[in-house]
């Protein structure tokens, strides 16, 4: 699959910011990561870009926390790679 163009990267950034804004401000979600990743994945699939959504979990004391992120051409999109190492992947697709 082709690498994203600069125009596609710009559009992805706008979608990322817009989805984050809409879900946190209007939808009042404190954790927009999964929905945002799914929206981006859907757009990227229509563009023919190589992406997948990853969902991971981590233990924080007695709490189990989840996080979802987009992987674009094998690299996490808008994520700090070191921060993802603490998550155990339970879905990738």
Provide the greatest CA pair distance for the chain. 44
Mean pLDDT of the chain: 93
Query: Would you state the pLDDT for residue 60?
Result: 87
Query: Would you state the pLDDT for residue 3?
Result: 86
DSSP state, 74? T
Structure token digits, residue 60: 């924080």
**What span, in angstroms and rounded, lies between the C-alpha atoms of 16 and 37?**
8
pTM value is 0.89
Walking along the chain (93 residues) 10 residues at a time, the average pLDDT comes out as 90 95 86 94 96 95 94 94 91 94
**What span, in angstroms and rounded, lies between the C-alpha atoms of 93 and 82?**
21
Query: Would you state the pLDDT for residue 77?
Result: 96
* Centroid of chain to Cα 39: 9
Query: Would you state the pLDDT for residue 46?
Result: 96
Share of residues in the chain with pLDDT > 70 (%): 100
Query: Would you state the pLDDT for residue 54?
Result: 98
């Amino acid at each position: 699959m082709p690498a994203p163009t600069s125009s596609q990267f710009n559009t992805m950034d706008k979608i990322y910011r817009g989805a984050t804004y809409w879900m946190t401000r209007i939808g009042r979600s404190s954790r927009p990561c999964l929905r945002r990743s799914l929206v981006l994945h859907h757009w990227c699939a229509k563009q023919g870009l190589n992406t997948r959504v990853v969902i991971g979990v981590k233990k924080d004391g007695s709490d189990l926390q989840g996080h979802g992120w987009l992987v674009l051409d094998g690299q996490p999109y808008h994520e700090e790679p070191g921060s993802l190492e603490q998550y155990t992947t339970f879905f990738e697709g």
